[in-house]
């Protein structure tokens, strides 16, 4: 059993809840889909907890591992730039560089894992079928299943080309109206299930409020609403 964790975003309470649920379900390996630290109150502890998984974990990077190493590429908003500066300072230059060097995609057991879509850590695969966009984003893909995250909205669907598309959702910052942590499990036969796990959302949101910076209070509000739009 493999657990698939995307978009942890520095939320240790959510991460511990998901790892507990996954280990009780029999997970022995872990696919880590990027966006590990930014926006959360505990980026260092989250990365350390994931590193403690050792050889059981396979890592790819998200847009945030790229942005925290090169914030000039990130949007010039107060929230994004504030979060980028905070997470880079917390992780330190060596860890920032190490995470930026992670691969952007990996194939395991016939499933392609990427952050937003196969060609991009930013351009998302839509929740609703869009044949033209799907064809463009899935060009050249030979795997029968593609797993991704990035939008923090958990879903699964099939395209007309017969490739199953799975958004594992966000462990630490869901935006689909459900505040519970989201992740996925896939068993050794390839059967995949989307899961949600309750945890103390208010503890994480309160820790963000205590940081006080605009990026942190905005993130706290998004966490409580389980929505990007406030």
Closest CA to 222 of 113, 80, 51: 80
Contacting positions for Mn ion (CB under 5 A): 7, 35
Instruction: Report DSSP state, residue 162.
Output: S
> How far is it, in rounded angstroms, from Cα 4 to Cα 122?
19
Q: Which is nearer to Mn ion, 7 or 134 (CB)?
A: 7
> How far is it, in rounded angstroms, from Cα 99 to Cα 110?
25
Q: Which is nearer to Mn ion, 21 or 35 (CB)?
A: 35
CB of 28 to Mn ion, least distance (A): 25
Q: Which is nearer to Mn ion, 30 or 64 (CB)?
A: 64
CB of 172 to Mn ion, least distance (A): 9
CB of 74 to Mn ion, least distance (A): 12
Q: Which helix H or strand E contains 223, and what residues bound it? A: helix 214-225
Q: In what order do the strands lie in the sheet with 181-186?
A: 57-59, 29-32, 2-5, 181-186, 192-197
Residues 6+ away with beta carbon under 8 Å from 95: 47
Half-sphere exposure of 142 (CA within 13 A, CB side): 3
Of all residues in this chain, which one has the CB nearest to Mn ion in the complex? 35
CB of 39 to Mn ion, least distance (A): 8
Q: Which is nearer to Mn ion, 7 or 176 (CB)?
A: 7
CB of 205 to Mn ion, least distance (A): 17
CB of 6 to Mn ion, least distance (A): 7
- Residues forming beta bridges with residue 148, ordered by sequence position: 167
124, 139, 151, 158 from 128: Cα distances, Å: 11, 18, 13, 10
Q: Which is nearer to Mn ion, 35 or 134 (CB)?
A: 35
Q: Which is nearer to Mn ion, 2 or 115 (CB)?
A: 115
57, 65, 136, 156, 166 from 146: Cα distances, Å: 18, 21, 14, 10, 6
């Amino acid at each position: 059993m493999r657990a698939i964790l995307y978009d942890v975003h520095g939320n240790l309470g959510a991460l511990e809840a998901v790892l507990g649920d996954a280990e009780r379900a029999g997970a022995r390996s872990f696919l880590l889909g990027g966006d590990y630290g930014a926006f959360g109150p505990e980026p260092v502890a989250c990365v350390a907890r994931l590193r403690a998984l050792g050889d059981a974990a396979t890592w790819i990077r998200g847009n945030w591992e790229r942005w925290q190493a090169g914030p000039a590429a990130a949007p010039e908003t107060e929230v994004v730039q504030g979060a980028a500066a905070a997470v880079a300072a917390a992780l330190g230059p060596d860890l920032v560089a190490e995470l930026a060097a992670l691969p952007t995609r990996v194939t395991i057991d016939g499933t392609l894992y990427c952050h937003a879509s196969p060609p991009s850590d930013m351009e998302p695969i839509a929740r609703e079928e869009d044949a033209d966009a799907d064809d463009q984003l899935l060009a050249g893909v030979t795997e029968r299943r593609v797993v991704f995250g990035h939008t923090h909205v958990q879903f699964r669907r099939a395209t007309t080309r017969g490739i199953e598309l799975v958004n594992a959702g966000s462990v630490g910052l869901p935006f689909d109206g459900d505040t519970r942590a989201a992740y996925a499990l896939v068993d050794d036969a390839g059967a995949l299930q989307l899961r949600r796990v309750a945890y103390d959302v208010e503890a994480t949101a309160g820790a963000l409020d205590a940081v006080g910076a605009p990026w942190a209070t905005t993130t706290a509000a998004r966490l409580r609403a389980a929505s990007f739009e406030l």
